[in-house]
Amino acid sequence: MKTIQLPINGNDIQKLRVGDEVQISGHMVTARDMAHRYMTDQWPDWLVPLLRDGAIYHCGPVVSQNNGVYAALSAGPTTSIREEPYAHRVIARYGPRLLIGKGGMGDKTLEAMRQHGAVYIHATGGAASVIAKSIVHIHAVHMLAEFGAPEAFWELEVENFTGVVTMDAHGGSLHRTVREASQKQLFALLGDT
């Protein structure tokens, strides 16, 4: 298990490889479809210091509020491929080092990760309440009125958030490897039809 303390620099990102199990602590920001569209349509400068050398978590957390204090009840990963049209531009502009979600991403994102020094971390789907326990504090929420709770930018403080590196800054992709192996096996089973 490798430990990641956010913010993280490019040299430390280069040490991460596909298959590495990680525990993440520090500041991360959630962003889903509306947030990604906003980031690439509006290019808001206020997001740069929140994302530079940090993490974007593809997640729409379920939160409670008590006397103005938010707490995460559930925080499972969203399917990341939905952000494929935006992620390469987000990486280039805002400089996050980690993208976290489920299911992996495509070739444009993988190339942006290679060029700019970032990795994709697969979080466990179906474990939303367990993941929420790693969120020790919610610092702030942005664009809540405009986007609604699932699509807003939530600033989270996490401790020992676990995942697996499935796309790395060297062009490695476990998702591509599995897809290619599966296709090869399928063609072998089907024969020359």
Going 157 to 160 to 164 to 165, the CA torsion angle's sign is positive
Is the CB of residue 99 less than 8 Å from the CB of residue 87? yes
- The active-site residue out of 27, 36, 88, 175 is 36
Backbone angles phi, psi at 11, to 5 degrees: -65, -40
Q: Give the residue among 130, 155, 132, 131 at the shortest CA–CA distance from 142.
A: 155
Peptide bond into 61 cis (omega under 30): no
DSSP 173: B
55 forms beta bridges with: 28, 98
- Take residue 169 and report the two structure tokens written for it: 């800054």
SS3 call for 191: coil
| Whether 27 is catalytic | no
Backbone angles phi, psi at 119, to 5 degrees: -135, 160
- Residues designated catalytic: 36
